């Protein structure tokens, strides 16, 4: 056995900013379920903490190493075991990349729906562990809604099978949905059975510029009442400028907000026309509307690079807040006030149709005062979200980044109950301790 | 305090056949959360089993009394607390009748989707506790998919709040989905926050007669590939005859199977036409297609009374099996063989688009031999379903009726794990012991 510190360094962190990461004692890159079982039995017997990770694209530090822990990487368990077009399910190992599964399903005329921004690089196991979202959740739900069954390894190395391949299943406790989103704190997923849908129609796309984010949101509320978009993405002025600076896409730089709406059924054209009209009624200064899917995809690409573009402006502390859709104007006002109060730039983009925003604080990580203000602004945004009846995380998870807010959101009795549920899976508390719950 | 044995008798059973029911020691009809808390504290302190029930329309005996238990009826906690059109959620007490909530939502142009056959008489609390299904699950999901948040009382009387009112929420363990479908074994639900959708379009309806159930199912597979029905219901010849005998509706009595398909979006007309064509291609002898919603509803009514109609033929033992959709022909053949082998009449109807069948054994409960054969046939059907990779219950739950099959379906390690999870909620095991898990 050799100790390769450099190899381990690459497995110390996910992509979150300002999250603590420890130094692991060992790295295991599992090739099969037996490797996972052996690793867990060892960790369980010796009470060694264990952090499971996929591609490390998480944004809340849930996959960050803990001092002295075993890091268990699932990236090599990356086989698509079966795509069953009749049953409309796929069985995959956890290290399969989201986009690879989507491509395999498409070969059968089927669609793996969940589309986190990281889809080209993130793994299905990580998507499930964090209950990842994406752009089309308002219409199609989050990762959880597409998981039918799991095979997972308990802390003591025993293998469990949860759920069923059928569309409906009312047998026993729903252990599947308990494991989804549990950030590796309950069990290690070694196989997932995922639901596939019929491919949707080519999307029609509407892009509209508004003088203010408030007007864009009032348009979203009107659009939601009259049509059923699969995508309704928002970018504020700071984000538009950052995307333009990085991509030279020439988005409307004078706009206070840009709205990007897509429809993907057989009435997309009619719905897109109605949407365009509603945008104008709500004060849009420019409205463009296309049924060309390639052009639509270019606009979506502009939205997808939003975070990368903001990261080029400095260090970026990304938030992930979910509020009821009608509370979006208040949440956006709160973000604006917080930016002003803490003298910081905050670029906001997100999924307007389901109330999930990603305000991103741009700061200079070399400046201790500014870093402190960034942390304070982050706190203030999370608290403002809770005051509006929101959730501290819509799709990135709790991890290390949000752990300190969890008790305010879910309460002490619920935290105690969750800890007892965890103990049922993991009596020695070795699985990702201190995260998720 | 008086003991009114007759009053208690009405609370001893749900609507299941051939399930054991004990004699309760007491009945509590809770009027508010305080009543629930006081009852649970007492039961917990004295280690008295407690069975929670709604309207008692369950079909698996989960609400049947246990000897010496407290029966806790939630039927008087029946207020709709709030319908919030902007947030698209409703907050209700557990005793609210499903159809009353649907009507209240409709007043706001919104739709509470889950539509179990019992919707006119069953409660939301019971729907959640059993994870009830309905006719439109293939497109819109089961009750679980529409529950955003719960307030529930733990066995020791402490109150917990789970979930969030937002569309996306990745914070902490998913205690909400753990409680959904747990048949009162984890906690007593005292308030539910449910998701509402935009009302759908008036449905277009296709009714097709086939010489055999096999042909009807092959049509369903074709329909599912080409269109997106919200409803695809199947009735076999025995069921058609029973419905005709009860209602004089004049359904095609010569048909081996009847298929009833509905579409509820803006392209319903076109999809219904395509569906009608596919039915003909797959051997339908009669195809009728209407865009009149009242006429469509009359056909749906024929399907909804299927179980009642079969009950008029004798004692009826209803099953609830879910198989992958492509396995439906094999499941239907197995049912036919089992009926022949045990010399019984079995009428089968169900939700073809999601693979959930309700084969119903008609027998003479006064004849011990025939009752024994009915039990044996029931066993054989459940086992055939498991052999096809199915679930022992799609939407009725485990209760008393299916408890003996649970370990074959979910395995001993999973059963042990579920028991530990239950103990986290209910350390003395007072909540509906011996059911659900």
A65 with A73: CB under 8 angstroms?
no
User: What number of residues does chain B have?
Assistant: 437
Q: According to DSSP H, which parts of B205-289 are helical? A: 213-226, 237-247, 268-281
B positions 356-395 inside 8 Å of A (CB): 356, 389-395
To the nearest 10 degrees (0 to 180), the angle between helices B268-281 and B213-226 is 140
Residues 6+ apart with CB under 8 A from B20: B61, B64, B400
CA A282 to chain centroid = 30
What's the pLDDT tens digit per position in A34-76? 999 999 999 999 999 999 999 999 999 999 999 999 999 999 9
Residues 6+ apart with CB under 8 A from A180: A128, A129, A131, A143, A144, A147, A150, B174
Domains defined for chain B, CATH in brackets? 5-73 (3.30.43.10), 80-198 (3.30.465.10), 204-387 (3.40.462.10)
Residue B433 region, left (φ>0) first, then alpha (ψ -120 to 50), else beta? beta
Residue B199 is given by DSSP the state P
Cα separation values, B164 from A389, A405, B101, B171, Å: 8, 15, 20, 9
What's the pLDDT tens digit per position in A231-284? 999 999 999 999 999 999 899 999 999 999 999 988 899 999 999 999 999 999
Contact B172 A198 (CB under 8 A): no
Residues 6+ apart with CB under 8 A from A379: none
Half-sphere exposure of A345 (CA within 13 A, CB side): 16
Phi, psi of B222 (to 5 degrees): -65, -40
CA A139 to chain centroid = 16
Count of CB atoms situated within 10 Å of the CB of A294: 8
Contact B270 A266 (CB under 8 A): yes
Residues 6+ apart with CB under 8 A from B379: none
Contact A326 B86 (CB under 8 A): yes
Question: In the structure, what pLDDT confidence band is assigned to residue A30 with cuts at 50, 70 and 90?
Answer: very high
Tell me which chain B residues have a C-beta less than 8 angstroms from the C-beta of A87. Answer: 324-326
Residue of B nearest to A86 (CA): B326
Half-sphere exposure of B259 (CA within 13 A, CB side): 36
What's the pLDDT tens digit per position in A321-367? 999 999 999 999 999 999 999 999 999 999 999 999 999 999 999 99
Query: Could you tell me the maximum CA-CA distance found in chain B, to the nearest angstrom?
Result: 68
Contact A169 B437 (CB under 8 A): no
B70 with B48: CB under 8 angstroms?
yes
A305-338 exposure pattern, b = at least 16 Cβ within 10 A, e = fewer: bbbebbbebbbbbbbbbbbbbbbbbbbbebbeeb
Q: What is the rounded distance in angstroms from the CA atom of residue A365 to the CA atom of residue A81?
A: 44
A71 with A28: CB under 8 angstroms?
yes
User: What number of residues does chain A have?
Assistant: 437
Distance separating the N- and C-terminal Cα atoms of chain B: 35
Query: Is the pLDDT score of A28 beyond 90?
Result: yes
What's the pLDDT tens digit per position in A143-179? 999 999 999 999 999 999 999 999 999 999 999 999 9
A375 with B133: CB under 8 angstroms?
no
* Encoded tokens for A364: 């200079």
pLDDT value of residue B267: 86
B positions 191-230 inside 8 Å of A (CB): 198, 221, 224-225, 228
Contact B169 A391 (CB under 8 A): yes
3-class DSSP assignment, residue A298: helix
**Best residue of B137, B173, B221 to probe chain A, by most A CBs closer than 10 Å:** B173
What's the pLDDT tens digit per position in A355-413? 999 999 999 999 999 999 999 999 999 999 999 999 999 999 999 999 999 999 999 99
CB contact B138 to A (< 8 Å): yes
Q: What is the rounded distance in angstroms from the CA atom of residue A398 to the CA atom of residue A415?
A: 13
Contact B413 A158 (CB under 8 A): yes
pLDDT value of residue B9: 87
pLDDT value of residue A351: 97
pLDDT value of residue B278: 98
Paired sense of beta strands B231-236 and B345-351, if any: antiparallel
Question: In the structure, what pLDDT confidence band is assigned to residue A8 with cuts at 50, 70 and 90?
Answer: confident
**Best residue of B166, B322, B329, B423 to probe chain A, by most A CBs closer than 10 Å:** B166
Question: In the structure, what pLDDT confidence band is assigned to residue A6 with cuts at 50, 70 and 90?
Answer: confident
Provide the number of CB pairs (under 8 Å) joining chain A to chain B.
259
Contact B173 A186 (CB under 8 A): yes
* Encoded tokens for B308: 């009642």
> Which of B141, B418, B436 is the closest to A175 by Cβ?
B418
pLDDT value of residue B2: 60
Per residue of chain B (437 residues), give pLDDT as tens.
566 777 788 999 999 999 999 999 999 999 999 999 999 999 999 999 999 999 999 999 999 999 999 999 999 999 999 999 999 999 999 999 999 999 999 999 999 999 999 999 999 999 999 999 999 999 999 999 999 999 999 999 999 999 999 999 999 999 999 999 999 999 999 999 999 999 998 999 999 999 999 999 999 999 999 999 999 999 999 999 999 999 998 999 999 999 999 999 888 999 999 999 999 999 999 999 999 999 999 999 999 999 999 999 999 999 999 999 999 999 999 999 999 999 999 999 999 999 999 999 999 999 999 999 999 999 999 999 999 999 999 999 999 999 999 999 999 999 999 999 999 999 999 999 999 88
B114 with B99: CB under 8 angstroms?
no
3-class DSSP assignment, residue A234: strand
Count of CB atoms situated within 10 Å of the CB of A345: 14
Q: What is the rounded distance in angstroms from the CA atom of residue A307 to the CA atom of residue A267?
A: 32
Contact B168 A133 (CB under 8 A): yes
Contact B174 A165 (CB under 8 A): no
Q: What is the rounded distance in angstroms from the CA atom of residue B323 to the CA atom of residue B416?
A: 25
Query: Is the pLDDT score of A1 beyond 90?
Result: no
Tell me which chain A residues have a C-beta less than 8 angstroms from the C-beta of B221. Answer: 86
Half-sphere exposure of A180 (CA within 13 A, CB side): 32
A437 with A418: CB under 8 angstroms?
yes
Contact B167 A137 (CB under 8 A): yes
CA B117 to chain centroid = 7
pLDDT value of residue B4: 75
């Amino acid at each position: 056995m050799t100790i390769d510190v450099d190899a381990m360094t690459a497995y110390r962190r996910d992509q979150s900013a300002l999250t603590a990461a420890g130094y692991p004692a060992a790295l295991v890159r599992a090739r099969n379920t037996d490797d996972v079982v052996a690793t867990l039995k060892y960790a369980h017997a010796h009470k060694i903490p264990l952090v499971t990770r996929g591609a490390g694209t998480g944004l809340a530090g849930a996959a960050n190493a803990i001092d002295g822990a075993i890091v268990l990487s699932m990236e090599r368990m990356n086989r698509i075991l079966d795509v069953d077009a009749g049953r409309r399910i796929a069985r995959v190992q956890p290290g399969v990349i989201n986009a690879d599964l989507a491509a395999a399903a498409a070969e059968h005329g089927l669609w793996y729906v969940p589309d986190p921004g990281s889809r080209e690089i993130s793994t299905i196991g990580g998507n499930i562990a964090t209950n990842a979202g994406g752009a089309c959740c308002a219409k199609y739900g989050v990762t959880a809604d597409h998981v039918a069954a799991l095979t997972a390894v308990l802390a003591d190395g025993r293998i469990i099978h949860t759920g069923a391949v059928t569309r409906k299943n009312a047998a026993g406790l729903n252990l599947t949905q308990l494991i989804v989103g549990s950030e590796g704190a309950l069990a290690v997923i070694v196989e997932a059975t995922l639901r596939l849908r019929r491919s949707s129609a080519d999307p029609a796309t509407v892009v509209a510029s508004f003088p203010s984010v408030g007007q864009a949101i009032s348009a979203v509320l009107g659009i939601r009442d009259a049509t059923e978009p699969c995508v309704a993405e928002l970018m504020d002025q700071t984000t538009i400028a950052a995307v333009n600076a990085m991509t030279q896409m020439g988005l409307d730089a004078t706009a206070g907000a840009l709205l990007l709406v897509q429809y993907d059924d057989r009435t997309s054209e009619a719905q897109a026309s109605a949407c365009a009209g509603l945008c104008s009624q709500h004060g849009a200064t420019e409205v463009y509307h296309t049924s060309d899917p390639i052009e639509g995809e270019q606009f979506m690409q502009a939205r997808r690079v939003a975070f990368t573009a903001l990261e080029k402006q400095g260090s970026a502390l990304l938030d992930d807040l979910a509020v009821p859709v009608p509370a979006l104007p208040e949440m956006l006002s709160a973000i604006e006030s917080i930016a002003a109060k803490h003298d910081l730039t905050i670029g906001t983009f997100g999924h307007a149709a389901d109330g999930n925003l990603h305000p991103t604080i741009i700061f200079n990580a070399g400046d201790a005062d500014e870093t402190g203000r960034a942390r304070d602004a982050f706190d203030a945004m999370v608290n403002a979200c809770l005051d509006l009846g929101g959730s501290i995380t819509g799709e990135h998870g709790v991890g290390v980044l949000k752990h300190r807010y969890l008790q305010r959101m879910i309460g002490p009795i619920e935290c105690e109950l969750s800890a007892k549920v965890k103990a049922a899976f993991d009596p020695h508390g070795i699985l990702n301790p201190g995260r998720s719950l």
